[in-house]
Amino acid sequence: MRILCMGSLAFDYIYKVDHLVRSGETIAANDRTEFAGGKGLTQSISLARAGAEVYHAGKVGSDGIELRYKMNQFGVNTTLLLVDGIEPTGHSMVQVDPAGQSSIVTYGGANDAITRQDIDGILANFRAGDMILLQNEISNVCYAIEKAYSMGLQITLNPSPFSQELLESGVLQHVDYLILNEIEGHEITGSREPEEICECLIRDYPNSRIVLTLGAGGVRYRDSSQRFSHGIFEVPVIDATGAGDTFVGYFLTGITEQPDVARALTLASKAASLSVTRNGSADSIPSRREVDEADLKLLP
């Protein structure tokens, strides 16, 4: 199966800090590094590292061509990547504290310049049965979902960052796989309790498969007939940035290889756990061989 990841690309500026900055506070960073980022880019690389046939579609400025090379390095097909002549490439400022927790501010740039015409041209290269993976860091996401649905594509949405437009447009009813964290789950359902979030989502979107990631609480899966959960593995946490994106790529690869939810959850959880032992987002994603050979223990 071909997977199209239509999503953001950005430069991530990582600042190591003693603690995440508070309102009104100015602090000094202990270190600064630059990585290739954006949820779309990171999830595309995760898909490729996991072994999927992945095409990335998105938009960069004239300053972002090196992001194409970065994805090519990991086996992502970038023939559908667009270059905007006006907007610069998006970027993110990421704070990371000694415990590996992060706080992120993003600037969309060229990611916010993707037009409906761009989307029509991109989707013309795909057919019914292919999968499209979307996040919410580019413009015209709702239109892309509606168009993909009309073409018979399988639709996966990672609604990050959440927006009311996703709810009000009604496009969530078209989503085959809804992969979200507990914050996004609360914003959609109003609940903060994981089981209740899953119940509300499967009630409102009965044709969707719900994958709710819970950080240290692991992950829960629900569809109309099955429910699964998986814990996290015991690893030293260096940088949690990109762990969720790593999970998405590995889960989708696993579930498209064979329809075994438990296996896909284990594969994705191992990959995400390995990613937090390294710095960066895209650069922290482990290879499929590393994941398959990793001997990790679940935390009790």
CATH label of the domain that carries residue 233: 3.40.1190.20
Q: Is 21 inside a domain boundary?
A: no
- Chain centroid to Cα 255, Å, comes to 16
Q: Is 29 inside a domain boundary?
A: no
The pLDDT value given to residue 92: 85
Tell me what percent of the chain is helix, strand and coil, each rounded to the nearest 5: 40, 25, 40
The pLDDT value given to residue 280: 78
User: Where is pLDDT greater, at 211 or 240?
Assistant: 211
Q: Is 134 inside a domain boundary?
A: yes
The pLDDT value given to residue 101: 85
Residue % of the chain over a pLDDT of 90: 89
The pLDDT value given to residue 35: 85
pLDDT of 198 higher than 90 = yes
**What tens digit of pLDDT does each residue of 77-112 get?**
999 999 999 999 999 898 999 988 888 888 999 999
**What tens digit of pLDDT does each residue of 124-156 get?**
999 999 999 999 999 999 999 999 999 999 999
Q: Is 31 inside a domain boundary?
A: no
Upper half-sphere CA count for residue 299 (Cβ side, 13 Å): 13
Q: Is 28 inside a domain boundary?
A: no
Q: Is 260 inside a domain boundary?
A: yes
Q: Is 254 inside a domain boundary?
A: yes
Q: Is 166 inside a domain boundary?
A: yes
How many structural domains does the chain have? Answer: 1
pLDDT of 281 higher than 90 = no
Q: Which residue type occupies 161?
A: P
**What tens digit of pLDDT does each residue of 239-250 get?**
888 899 999 999
152 Rama sector, left if φ>0, alpha if ψ -120 to 50, beta otherwise: left
Burial (CB count within 10 angstroms: exposed 0-12, middle 13-18, buried 19+), residue 123: buried
Q: Which residue range forms the structural domain that includes residue 245?
A: 2-7+39-86+112-293
Q: Which of 11, 16, 18 is nearest to 34 (CA)?
A: 11
Q: Work out the average pLDDT over 180-204.
A: 97
The reply to whether the predicted model has a pTM over 0.85 is yes
